[in-house]
Amino acid sequence: MENCSAKIAMPQEHHQISTASSSDPPQGEHGEINHPHDDPFEDDSAIGSDIESLTQTLNSEVLDFEYSNGRRYNAFKNGTYLLPNDEVEVERLDIQHKMWTLILSGKLYLAPLNEDEIHDVVDIATGTGNWAIDFADAHPQARVIECQILIARQVPQNLEFIVEDSEMDWMFTRPFDFIHSRAVAAGWKDWPNYFRQAFNHLKPGGWIEIQDLYFMSDASETCDDGTVKNDHPLVRLSRYMIEGGLKMGFDMRKVQYAASMLKDAGFVDIHQVNLKFPWTEWPEQEPLKTVGRLMTKNMVETGGLSAVGLGILTKKLGWSREKAELFLMEGRNALKDTTQHCYSPVIVVYARKPSETGSPGA
């Protein structure tokens, strides 16, 4: 077995799940940022009217908060969003965005979009909206919608932020060329319904992509060389996250079935890419070494372990705050040990709606 400290392939695995066409559209410049100087939609009042018809952009539920364990949480959907919503969390999510971009080789997405035909795009709940901001900057010709409960500080002219519950009936009045989402394992209960709705709101030939972490329940899923055991604090934390999520109706491991669910919804040209987020600087090669350093910063300096674990441990598993803090301290100490080659599995799946299509799968 190959030593984890030597190499992790990027991407490690790339599988085409099914093929329904002989060729893919040409791949464009995924991550290049071009800052627009003029508003390409200054005479297009349809954007504003469409967005207003979707949802109330800032409602009392989104601006209402609850405080627990010294952190601020959003009250949206009765507080079912598991993570905090405060300035520290915004900083953590900004670091996480850099990590995702690095493991995707500087790209924002992997789907083979035809750059000349990208006009309508929606992102569902990625970070603080920074993915949508970068995408809108890179595609000034596109109308981009961000469904988000965190409010961005400054956005491009071709980007609109809205508040929308993606698990309820979608109210979008315009079909999309591309639907993107990332790190939603703790946000979706009904994944098949999400994919069915995405299918119905894509233009024929449009693409969907989902990027997410796969929560591990065993050390064999987080290490390839045996340096991490099942009693490792981060393996145990992942198990507790899975347990707490199930109590709330979230399956933190559901992304492993994304490809089959996309097929059931009617999608074709389904591809899955398996990657890794190292937890410390143990990898020898870049960019994974930098990703590991950012992960440590993300989990320790910006309170990521507390953000991820404190709410579930105390609210859903009944731990005292003192017990939870002591356990999370074990996790922070473990992140200082680069001899244990721990990583989080990452799964990226993208698929295409057929150019000519009937009803999606049940």
pLDDT at residue 64, rounded to an integer: 62
User: The tokens of 130 are what?
Assistant: 């920074």
DSSP state of 124: E
3-state secondary structure at position 240: helix
Q: Which of the residue ranges 17-31, 188-202, 228-242 would you say has the lowest mean pLDDT?
A: 17-31
User: The tokens of 117 are what?
Assistant: 């035909």
DSSP state of 140: T
Q: How big is the chain, counted in residues?
A: 362
DSSP state of 360: P
When pLDDT is cut at 50, 70 and 90, the band that residue 58 belongs to is: very low
pLDDT tens-digit map of 64-101: 666 666 666 665 555 555 666 667 777 888 899 999 99
Chain-centroid distance of CA 51 in Å reads 23
pLDDT at residue 127, rounded to an integer: 80
Spatial CB neighbours of 73, under 8 Å, sequence gap ≥ 6:
65, 66, 67, 79, 81, 83, 84, 85, 311
| 327 pLDDT more than 80 | yes
DSSP state of 117: G
| 310 pLDDT more than 50 | yes
User: The tokens of 60 are what?
Assistant: 């009392």
Distance (Å, whole) CA 340 – CA 59: 46
Q: Which of the residue ranges 70-79, 179-188, 284-293 would you say has the lowest mean pLDDT?
A: 70-79
Q: Which of the residue ranges 3-7, 67-71, 336-340, 356-360 would you say has the lowest mean pLDDT?
A: 3-7
Q: Which of the residue ranges 29-38, 103-112, 226-235, 285-294 would you say has the lowest mean pLDDT?
A: 29-38
Long-range Cβ pairs for the range 302-307 (8 Å, 24+):
302/88, 302/91, 302/92, 302/95, 303/88, 303/89, 303/92, 304/92, 305/237, 305/331, 305/332, 306/69, 306/71, 307/71, 307/83, 307/84, 307/88, 307/89, 307/92
pLDDT at residue 244, rounded to an integer: 92
The one-letter code for the residue type at 352 is R
How do the residues of the chain divide into helix, strand and coil, expressed in percent and rounded to 5? 35, 20, 45
Higher pLDDT, 54 or 66: 66
pLDDT above 70 coverage of the chain, percent: 73
Higher pLDDT, 208 or 308: 208
Mean pLDDT of all residues in 180-205: 93
pLDDT at residue 283, rounded to an integer: 97
The model carries a pTM of: 0.80
- Radius of gyration for the chain, computed over Cα atoms and rounded to the nearest angstrom: 20
Q: In 124-177, which ranges are continuous DSSP H helix?
A: 130-138
Please count the CA atoms within 13 angstroms of the CA of 112 that sit on its side-chain side. Answer: 13
If phi over 0 gives left and psi between -120 and 50 gives alpha, with beta otherwise, what is residue 320? Answer: beta
Higher pLDDT, 187 or 14: 187
| 220 pLDDT more than 70 | yes
pLDDT at residue 11, rounded to an integer: 37
pLDDT at residue 239, rounded to an integer: 96
When pLDDT is cut at 50, 70 and 90, the band that residue 30 belongs to is: very low
pLDDT at residue 8, rounded to an integer: 32
- Starting at the edge strand found earlier in the chain, the sheet holding 120-124 runs 13-18, 268-278, 343-352, 202-213, 176-182, 120-124, 143-147, 159-162
Mean pLDDT of all residues in 346-352: 98
DSSP state of 254: G
Residues 178, 352: contact at Cβ < 8 Å? no
Q: What is the mean pLDDT of the chain?
A: 80
Higher pLDDT, 175 or 40: 175
Q: Which of the residue ranges 24-28, 264-268, 302-306, 331-335 would you say has the lowest mean pLDDT?
A: 24-28
pLDDT at residue 68, rounded to an integer: 64
Distance (Å, whole) CA 156 – CA 35: 8
Mean pLDDT of all residues in 119-135: 92
| 285 pLDDT more than 70 | yes
Distance (Å, whole) CA 76 – CA 34: 34
Residues 203, 229: contact at Cβ < 8 Å? no
pLDDT at residue 67, rounded to an integer: 62
Instruction: Count the neighbouring beta carbons within 10 Å of the beta carbon of residue 269.
Output: 22
- Distances from the Cα of 48 to the Cαs of 51, 125, 128, 144, in angstroms? 5, 20, 22, 12
pLDDT tens-digit map of 226-283: 999 999 999 999 999 999 999 988 899 999 999 999 999 999 999 999 999 999 999 9
| 303 pLDDT more than 90 | no
